[in-house]
Amino acid sequence: MTCQEFRAAVGADPRASSAEIESHAASCADCRAWRLELQRMDEVIRRALAIDVDASAIRLARPDSRRAGRSWRGWAMAAGVVCAILVASVLWIATPHAALADDVVAHMSEEPNAWTRTDVAADPAKVARVLARSGVKLREGAGLATYANSCWFRGHYVPHLVFQTGTGPVTVMVLTEEHVAAPVEFDEQGYSGVLVPAHRGALAILGRGAKPGREFTARVRAAIGYTGT
């Protein structure tokens, strides 16, 4: 079972269990932590839904004075249920993306030399090999690539590229096994960037200090291609 298959199964049912699921969870720390977080959020929602709301709380007619206190308590409990579900839903959506941004930033410390300012292009043959290993290709228009490496990240080898821009070096990690539904910006430990959806998976685009501009982000997204497309 791959990470993607595991997350699809567990995302549909955080309590799902099978020999394949348990085997993958035992061997993959990232997926095991992700599953635990989903189970925690699922429990919050379950408890919120289990609250017994007084029937008077959903009556639209104005309550008389004898039932005012009881009705108010019912409305308060109903509001509490809604808030709990909303908070749990936000956490469920945000946590995986925040964890992904954390992992991207943590990876930066492993390759400090990648951030060198230079006008010397990386060996085109090496760039091609790095990308091909992950089923990725680079079209014209991305800019000057000065660094390329195939990095072990979250259980997969991913292309790690650096481009020179007007605001300094910008790192692009092509994450074919990760997914984001919409752009997610982050600013951590001196790195500013964004996670964006891609044709396959996602891209992590970040700089040190200055956040990569929208123009560069759009340009690099257009330049990243995939084998078979």
CATH of the structural domain 109-226, one choice from 3.30.70, 3.90.930, 3.40.1800, 3.40.1000: 3.40.1000
Residues 188/171, Cβ–Cβ less than 8 Å: no
Spatial distance between the Cα atoms of 47 and 79, rounded to a whole number of angstroms: 14
Could you tell me the residue ranges of all domains in the chain?
3-107, 109-226
CA-based nearest residue to 169, from 182, 160, 157, 178: 160
Predicted confidence (pLDDT) per residue in 21-50, tens digit: 999 888 887 678 778 777 877 776 666 666
Strand partners, 204: 173, 195
pLDDT at residue 151, as a whole number: 92
Tokens at residue 90, please?
A: 């936000």
Task: Give the residue with greater pLDDT, 96 vs 33.
Answer: 33
pTM of the predicted structure, to 2 decimals: 0.59
Residues 193/185, Cβ–Cβ less than 8 Å: yes
Q: Which amino acid is at 132?
A: A
Tokens at residue 22, please?
A: 């348990």
Mean of pLDDT over the chain: 80
Spatial distance between the Cα atoms of 205 and 220, rounded to a whole number of angstroms: 9
Q: Which residues contact 84 (CB under 8 A, 6 or more apart)?
A: 44, 45, 47, 48
Quote the Cα angle for 187-190-192, to 5°. 35
pLDDT at residue 180, as a whole number: 87
Q: How confident is the model at residue 132 (pLDDT cuts 50, 70, 90)?
A: very high
Spatial distance between the Cα atoms of 173 and 100, rounded to a whole number of angstroms: 12
Q: Please state which of the ranges 3-12, 125-134, 149-158 shows the lowest mean pLDDT.
A: 3-12
pLDDT at residue 11, as a whole number: 73
CA-based nearest residue to 204, from 155, 166, 153: 153
Q: Which residues contact 9 (CB under 8 A, 6 or more apart)?
A: 1, 16, 18, 21
Spatial distance between the Cα atoms of 152 and 165, rounded to a whole number of angstroms: 26
CA-based nearest residue to 108, from 173, 201, 177, 30: 173
Considering only the C-alpha atoms of the chain, give the largest distance between any 2 of them, rounded to a whole number of Å.
Answer: 82
Chain centroid offset of residue 222 CA: 20
Tokens at residue 44, please?
A: 């919050």
Stretch 163-181: mean pLDDT, rounded?
93
Spatial distance between the Cα atoms of 81 and 88, rounded to a whole number of angstroms: 11
Stretch 150-157: mean pLDDT, rounded?
90
pLDDT at residue 13, as a whole number: 81
